[in-house]
Amino acid sequence: MAKLRFDALDQANNRPSVKVEAPGKISEYFGQDVFDLKRMQALLSPDIYKKVKQAINEGLKIDLETADAIASAVKSWAMSKGATHFTHWFQPMTGATAEKHDTFFDYITGLERFKGSELVQQEPDASSFPSGGIRSTFEARGYTAWDPSSPIFVYGVTLCIPTVFVSYTGEALDNKAPLLKAVEAVDQAATRVCQLFDRKVTRVKPFLGCEQEYFVIDKSLYNSRPDLVMAGRTVFGHNPARGQQLDDHYFGSIPPRIYDFMKDFEIELLKLGIPVSTRHNEVAPSQFEVAPAFEEINVATDHNQLLMDVMNKVAERHDLRVLFHEKPFAELNGTGKHNNWSLITNTGVNLFQPSSSARENLVFLVFLVNTIKAVYHYADLLRASIASAGNDHRLGANEAPPAIMSVFIGSQLTAVLDELEKKGNIKLEKGDNMYMKLGIDKIPPIILDNTDRNRTSPFAFTGNKFEFRAVGGSANTAAPMTILNLIVAEQLTQFYNDVQKEIGKGAEKKIAVVNVLRKYIKDSKKVRFEGDGYSDEWVTEAEKRGLTNIKDTPRALDAYLKDVSRKLFKKHKVLNDIELEARNEISWESYIMKIQIESRVMGDLVLNHVIPTAIVYQNKLITNAKGLQELNINNKEILENINKISNYIEVLNRGVHDMVEERKRVNKIADSRERAIAYCDEVKGKYFEKIRYAVDKLELLVDDEDWPLVKYREMLFLR
Ligand code: ADP
Ligand code: MG
């Protein structure tokens, strides 16, 4: 039985690396597969180009005539790059991306064609995508609509058109549509606030830079682990260095095969206009990170989805597998996707950038404090936005951000906010002096300094942006970014109204702003935490502060359906009741499916691999014990091991049997939320750890020669 494992190890160890040549200087091929503004300007007539640009920048609609002209140009361009098909590329609520390919070739005319109407709208077979009951499958009616704000690209032989996916009755069926609406909401609210200070600001756009962590392992080793193949994570496996740091030298250099893989996917990403610069700062063995430069949030979201896809495809060329799962290996660092987020005005000001000017710093403080307050009030929604079966293993685990939403801002900004909060009488003096008195002109630009960082905070201010670190490695950033922009939009709206009220009471504008800020700083203080977010003390302290710590997905999702949330989504036109309920339905079902798969894989591995192997080894020990006894040699220890193995086998047999019975019972629960909770508490909660513990103990006891599953150290220390 161990033959599979050793064959896989053999293959993995003898694989040559696949050499990669860069096609030239990056500037020569960056964005070569993208139909970007530069290319449009070259290939479209000036008035058509102007219309597209307006559509991109101002969200204006494109008429059919313009669409025809664009379609014709984009088709010729794509065909010159070898494309034969086109697809509307979208992000259904399953989490992945989807596409339905159509050929350019028209059988009637015998020519390649691409019409404006095909560019603008397409009907995918919507019945195969989850809709949470919005439409019954027999009337699967949904369509994809072109989103000109994200550029069209050629991927392989296919022209890909980024789209949103909506039902004919107008409900959003994807991750992108709500994001675009939240972006609009935050634009409106932030612009209004900016205009209190600067009338030239007419637009505020959210930006996103995604640091993507991932593991890489050899394809054969991956394929030899049914748990990785089926569930994306190892359900068993003893960590060779459990409880202790792995040696530093493992992290020093990147194995050549992985280096070639990185180089290869970077080239592919750059061609697609994704501005990556790979980082090699692994935290766990075989774990790496890639970080593109930040971009407008919906482009960055598309790019992150595409990045994962490209990495998966390129990995195949190298006989490697990429893992984006949040916790593929127990006891090792999990996998996250740090969402670096900021708001930037059309005048080029990053609203989270402290400066040396007092006026700009007041604006900075407005956005800083309002974001903190938004996180404080809507912590549960933010928590819900990152909830998934995979992320449950990561949030709250040892080395991961806790499930408590708190904000870190660093000691200098803490001092500034404290001072602002405490200062009693604000006197209006001429010019900017007032702010001098409050100390807000003194925010030193050195808070960009890396030393003032707290890696244990789920939501940290990092110099000129916020970094939402609790987002899972495999997640679509659209969900958490929809919530973040939405709650900040709401908070800024409230801020604007509160300032107007103060002004109504006779306060000068800047004084009014400061008054409201001081109140907000007090109100939201509880969410600020500068200490060690991974410590037990924080869990206790957070509870005292009344901060929630929702540990599992089924319950975290409840936040979406609370009255305050429903109102919030409705007010900013992001999602309506039907859409919210449908989304939760899908999320609960998806959670159930994942736990069910994990539970089945566990059962299969235990019954078909682990127990038979343990018995084989136990029989060897029995023969040995008998032999020793015949020779009158002490066999006490061997008998003890035989006993231990028997006990573990019993635990496993009973555990798997009971877990299967539990599943059968739980499957009968009609309500999907209740069923998800039962899967969480009864199936996963009662059995997963117990079964894993026994299997991992057996891995240590059983002869290495017999053990059927590739071990952690074999998977993770690829040479
Ligand atoms: P680290 O967090 O590892 O120290 P950096 O500070 O260099 O790394 O940035 C990490 C990510 O943050 C990158 O993807 C980068 O593009 C992004 N980033 C930098 N500035 C901004 C910004 N103003 N808005 C959004 N993302 C940003
Ligand atoms: Mg970071």
Q: Which residue has the higher pLDDT, 390 or 357?
A: 390
Mutate to test the pocket of ligand 1, among 277, 279, 281, 340 (most ligand atoms within 8 A of CB): 340
> Does the structure show a pLDDT above 50 at 635?
yes
pLDDT (mean) for 332-351? 95
Indicate the pLDDT class of residue 55, thresholds 50, 70 and 90: confident
pLDDT (mean) for 205-231? 96
pLDDT (mean) for 498-507? 96
- Could you give the maximum distance between any two Cα atoms of the chain, in Å? 102
Q: Phi/psi at 79 (nearest 5 deg)?
A: -65, -35
The CATH architecture to which 31-174 belongs is Roll (3.10)
CA of 213 to the centre of ligand 1 (A): 14
Alpha carbon distance, N-terminus to C-terminus of the chain: 25
Kindly give, in sequence order, each residue whose CB lies less than 8 Å from that of residue 718, ignoring residues fewer than 6 positions away: 12, 216, 217, 218, 255, 257, 258, 286
> Does the structure show a pLDDT above 80 at 128?
no
466 CB near ligand 1 (under 6 Å)? no
Q: What angle do CA 223, 552, 575 make, to 5 degrees?
A: 100
> Does the structure show a pLDDT above 50 at 425?
no
> Does the structure show a pLDDT above 90 at 701?
yes
Helix (H) or strand (E) holding 551: none
The first and second tokens of residue 543, run together, are 């509870």
Q: Which residue has the higher pLDDT, 421 or 195?
A: 195
- What pLDDT sits at residue 447? 47
279 CA: nearest ligand 1 atom: 3
Residue type, 695: V
pLDDT digits (tens, 9 = 90+) for 151-177: 999 999 999 999 998 887 788 888 999
CA of 394 to the centre of ligand 2 (A): 17
Indicate the pLDDT class of residue 488, thresholds 50, 70 and 90: very high
Q: Which residue has the higher pLDDT, 419 or 424?
A: 419
- What pLDDT sits at residue 169? 78
Given a contact cutoff of 8 angstroms between Cβ atoms, the answer to whether 216 and 320 are in contact is yes
- Which residue ranges does the chain devote to CATH 3.10.20.70? 31-174
Kindly give, in sequence order, each residue whose CB lies less than 8 Å from that of residue 366, ignoring residues fewer than 6 positions away: 193, 495, 513, 517
Best CA proximity match to 276, nearest among 284, 285, 288, 268: 268
Q: What is the CATH number of domain 587-717?
A: 1.20.120.1560
Helix (H) or strand (E) holding 2: none
Q: Which residue has the higher pLDDT, 668 or 278?
A: 668
Best CA proximity match to 3, nearest among 616, 602, 652, 656: 616
Given a contact cutoff of 8 angstroms between Cβ atoms, the answer to whether 475 and 337 are in contact is yes
- Which residue ranges does the chain devote to CATH 3.30.590.10? 183-565
Given a contact cutoff of 8 angstroms between Cβ atoms, the answer to whether 449 and 469 are in contact is no
- What pLDDT sits at residue 97? 78
Residue with tokens 């001092």: 415
> Does the structure show a pLDDT above 60 at 434?
no
Distances, alpha carbon 526 to alpha carbons 379, 542, 545, 549, in Å:
12, 8, 6, 14
Lowest mean pLDDT among 80-89, 100-109, 419-428: 419-428
**Rounded to whole angstroms, how far apart are CA atoms 266 and 261?**
8
- What pLDDT sits at residue 433? 45
Indicate the pLDDT class of residue 700, thresholds 50, 70 and 90: very high
> Does the structure show a pLDDT above 50 at 208?
yes
> Does the structure show a pLDDT above 60 at 439?
no
Given a contact cutoff of 8 angstroms between Cβ atoms, the answer to whether 571 and 490 are in contact is yes
**Rounded to whole angstroms, how far apart are CA atoms 498 and 512?**
9
**Rounded to whole angstroms, how far apart are CA atoms 410 and 408?**
6
Lowest mean pLDDT among 76-90, 402-416, 482-496, 545-559: 402-416
Distances, alpha carbon 221 to alpha carbons 287, 585, 587, 595, 714, in Å:
16, 35, 31, 23, 8
Given a contact cutoff of 8 angstroms between Cβ atoms, the answer to whether 166 and 142 are in contact is yes
CA of 524 to the centre of ligand 2 (A): 24
- What pLDDT sits at residue 695? 98
pLDDT (mean) for 299-324? 97
Given a contact cutoff of 8 angstroms between Cβ atoms, the answer to whether 217 and 710 are in contact is no
Indicate the pLDDT class of residue 506, thresholds 50, 70 and 90: very high
**Rounded to whole angstroms, how far apart are CA atoms 114 and 469?**
42
- What pLDDT sits at residue 360? 75
pLDDT (mean) for 32-49? 94
**Rounded to whole angstroms, how far apart are CA atoms 653 and 655?**
6
Q: Is 167 left (phi over 0), alpha (psi -120 to 50) or beta?
A: beta
**Rounded to whole angstroms, how far apart are CA atoms 104 and 59?**
28
pLDDT (mean) for 541-565? 96
Instruction: Give the HSE-up count for residue 115: Cα atoms under 13 Å, Cβ half-sphere.
Output: 6
464 CB near ligand 1 (under 6 Å)? yes
**Rounded to whole angstroms, how far apart are CA atoms 268 and 155?**
10
- What pLDDT sits at residue 62? 85
Residue 463, strand partner residues: none
**Rounded to whole angstroms, how far apart are CA atoms 189 and 180?**
14
Kindly give, in sequence order, each residue whose CB lies less than 8 Å from that of residue 564, ignoring residues fewer than 6 positions away: none
402 CB near ligand 1 (under 6 Å)? no
- What pLDDT sits at residue 282? 66
Lowest mean pLDDT among 6-10, 264-268, 354-358, 374-378: 354-358
CA of 340 to the centre of ligand 1 (A): 6
Mutate to test the pocket of ligand 1, among 288, 294, 304 (most ligand atoms within 8 A of CB): 294
pLDDT (mean) for 573-586? 94
Which residue owns the Cα nearest ligand 1 atom 6?
A: 462
- What pLDDT sits at residue 139? 44
pLDDT (mean) for 671-700? 97
Share of the chain above pLDDT 90, in %: 69
Mean pLDDT estimate for the chain = 89
pLDDT digits (tens, 9 = 90+) for 445-486: 444 444 457 788 999 999 899 999 999 999 999 999 999 999
- What class has domain 183-565? alpha beta
Given a contact cutoff of 8 angstroms between Cβ atoms, the answer to whether 710 and 1 are in contact is no
For the chain, the residue count is: 719
> Does the structure show a pLDDT above 80 at 438?
no
- Which residue ranges does the chain devote to CATH 1.20.120.1560? 587-717
Residue with tokens 């990495």: 311
Best CA proximity match to 87, nearest among 118, 117, 63, 66: 118
CA of 281 to the centre of ligand 1 (A): 15
- What pLDDT sits at residue 124? 72
Which one of the ligands is nearest to 338 CA?
2
Q: What is the 3-state secondary structure (H, E, C) of 194-244?
A: HCCCCCCCCCEEEEEEEEEEEEEEEHHHHHCCHHHHHHCCCCCCCCCCCCC
350 CB near ligand 1 (under 6 Å)? yes
Measured in whole angstroms, the distance separating CA 15 from the mean position of its chain's CA atoms is 32
293 CA: nearest ligand 1 atom: 16
- What pLDDT sits at residue 240? 67
Three-state SS at 287: strand
Best CA proximity match to 370, nearest among 493, 457, 480: 493
**Rounded to whole angstroms, how far apart are CA atoms 66 and 639?**
83
209 CB near ligand 1 (under 6 Å)? yes
Which one of the ligands is nearest to 206 CA?
1
> Does the structure show a pLDDT above 50 at 71?
yes
- What pLDDT sits at residue 377? 97
Which residue owns the Cα nearest ligand 1 atom 24?
A: 342
pLDDT digits (tens, 9 = 90+) for 618-630: 999 999 999 999 9
Residue 466, strand partner residues: 341, 461
> Does the structure show a pLDDT above 80 at 127?
no
685 burial via Cβ count (<10 Å: 0-12, 13-18, 19+): middle
294 CB near ligand 1 (under 6 Å)? yes
Q: Annotate 626-645 with b (16+ C-beta within 10 A) or e (fewer).
A: eebeeeeeebeebeebbeeb
- What pLDDT sits at residue 99? 76
Question: Which residue stretches of 44-175 are H helix?
Answer: 46-58, 64-80, 116-120
> Does the structure show a pLDDT above 90 at 718?
no
- What pLDDT sits at residue 141? 67
Distances, alpha carbon 203 to alpha carbons 36, 176, 343, 505, in Å:
22, 20, 10, 29
Pairing of strands 466-468, 105-106: unpaired
Lowest mean pLDDT among 121-135, 230-244, 290-304, 417-431: 417-431
> Does the structure show a pLDDT above 90 at 359?
no
Kindly give, in sequence order, each residue whose CB lies less than 8 Å from that of residue 332, ignoring residues fewer than 6 positions away: 239, 284, 285, 287, 716
The first and second tokens of residue 572, run together, are 């900013």
Kindly give, in sequence order, each residue whose CB lies less than 8 Å from that of residue 616, ignoring residues fewer than 6 positions away: 1, 706
- What pLDDT sits at residue 125? 65
- Report pTM: 0.94
